[in-house]
A and B are shown apart, each in its own frame.
Chain A
């Protein structure tokens, strides 16, 4: 691809000026996907007809002189757990390998309403349960910065799609870091908004008190554009927040960070973080100080409880949410049992045992344990208290800080197969992203450097509940004064 603009903001602007043609954009992106994706494995399928038909309509409106929406001509990938009417939506699971969505998720419908072009569904860890996209029942997704490196997860396909320029924006979901961590490992920018800011209707549930629809893009500016189009109350989601003020305009208000109070919690900026990652994120914090940020050393003592609390709460909710896969209403039904001969419990048990992969089964059993009679007081209830303690500490920190910073991931992208057999080591890998998930606060990951062997390193910014604009503003200023987000993989 040549000199055509690659950020969503620039594409939409060129479309509105009549300098681009949507059909050409879609054709070019589909060709790029066809040529690069067989090796990368980012997309499970593409929506050729849908994207082309929407592009044709957009071009007609452009020719007729109609005003076009803020996402005009922006090609968007969406994670396999978000519904697009009549398309497959499998959440990376064999359980839903043939499931066709009866309607489109609110968060995606709004993007099409603003003239965005949905182009395909991206690979993911099964039901969002994983940090490498390896638990997908369908295909392996590779990091474009190294074919033997994991892309992160669970929104690994979305991260790779943006990193490899297969789309301008990709939608993901983030329950414990599933947008931020793959964004970090693939060198793109990713936002988990405040819980409830983007409606969950049409998102296949993992853990309902934590699930957030998020997005990955090349710049914070693109994420602000996305957030303004996707956020707002939805009658179909009782947890959606009242429509907030837009954030895009906030980005133009600042070119430095004078007076912004930046907290650097000790617990998230030392122990367990690789030296190379720490060096790069500390350099980024120093640059933020140079831009006028007032850096404050601070503590988040309950962070040590975040991984246990997250995994007990998320799996307990998952055990309940995934009970709906009964082999009757939709999803996999076993062919091993004969409904006329065997009991309904046999059929359901066999259908679930065949349909769910090993990691999903492990998490359902852990969640069942944590919430079952005799154990819930010691596990589920304690985890809820730990969550409260963490939320209280965050609230106290946000009385004296505007933004908190930490690395997004304690390591750069590992190779396939690293700590495969050790679930605790895998879960501890999420230690820096789960605190914001438990607190329901907005958090963004932005590239801030690379390891000696060229793997991306990222900085995470967190802000007070509802203050998504603060993390976007900080990232935008950082990106105005740095080049890390512009580095692209050799493909």
Chain B
């Protein structure tokens, strides 16, 4: 069984990039130490043999699957108006969301 990973600054930077969160430098060490503590504590799960009891992670848990007759009819409903959709947008122009630049000029 692999040993619990050392959470280092590189891993924090990688996770931050995946999660789109930038951790300021003066908080990085504190966050690293907290994550390390949690990851070490939670790695006990990797040392337990759950499969021996026939458990299957893919078996339905608390979710249930809807049957076909529970689904609504496949017909169009009235969608929210453009104004409703944009009502909470931080920035709009000409009835559109204003987004940051995504292509180089």
A residues with CB within 8 A of B: 98-100, 102, 195-196, 209-210, 233, 235, 238-239, 241, 305, 308-309, 311-312, 319, 323, 326-333, 337, 339-350, 352-353, 356, 358, 361-362, 364-366, 368-370, 372, 375, 378-379, 381-389, 391-392, 422-424, 427, 439-440
Contacts and interface: CB of A to CB of B under 8 A. Distances in A.
A290 B14 CA distance: 58
B53 A423 contact: no
Interface string B13-42: 001101111110001000100110111011
Contact of A344 (B38, B48, B66, B102): B102
A424 B38 CA distance: 6
A333 B98 CA distance: 11
15 contacts: A210-B62, A233-B70, A319-B19, A328-B97, A328-B98, A331-B90, A344-B102, A358-B27, A379-B39, A382-B46, A384-B58, A385-B50, A386-B48, A427-B38, A440-B61
B57 interface: yes
A378 B2 contact: yes
A331 B91 CA distance: 10
B61 A387 contact: yes
B95 interface: no
B15 to A, nearest CB: 5
Interface in B1-19: 2, 5, 7, 11-12, 15-16, 18-19
Given A339-B100, A346-B100, A368-B19, A100 B88 contact: yes
A308 B38 CA distance: 9
Contacts of B19: 319, 323, 352, 364-365, 368
A391 B63 CA distance: 13
In this complex, the member of B12, B20, B41, B66 whose beta carbon has the largest number of chain A beta carbons within 10 angstroms is: B20
A391 B88 CA distance: 40
B89 A362 contact: no
A365 B35 contact: yes
A386 B45 contact: yes
A335 to B, nearest CB: 10
Give 5 closest A-B pairs by Cβ, nearest first: A440-B62, A333-B90, A330-B88, A384-B57, A385-B50
B44 interface: yes
B22 A353 contact: yes
Contacts of B56: 385, 388
A102 B84 contact: yes
Main secondary structure of the interface of A (DSSP, over half): helix
B21 A339 contact: no
Contacts of B61: 209, 384, 387-388, 391, 440
Q: Which of B19, B34, B43, B87 has the most CB of A within 10 A?
A: B19
Nearest to B32: A365
A389 B50 contact: yes
B50 A365 contact: no
Nearest to B56: A388
Given A350-B22, A356-B21, A364-B19, A328 B42 contact: no
Given A362-B31, A378-B2, A388 B55 contact: yes
B101 to A, nearest CB: 6
B87 A372 contact: no
B11 to A, nearest CB: 8
B76 interface: no
A361 B62 contact: no
A356 B19 CA distance: 12
Could you say which of B31, B62, B88, B91 has the most chain A C-beta atoms within 10 Å of its C-beta? B62
A369 B15 contact: yes
Interface in B64-105: 64, 66, 70, 72, 80, 84, 87-91, 97-102
A459 B69 CA distance: 41
A365 B12 contact: yes
A241 B38 contact: no
B70 to A, nearest CB: 8
A239 B45 contact: no
A6 to B, nearest CB: 35
A100 B86 CA distance: 11
B67 to A, nearest CB: 10
A102 B100 contact: no
A239 B63 contact: yes
Contact of A423 (B20, B34, B50): B34
B15 A372 contact: yes
B35 A347 contact: no
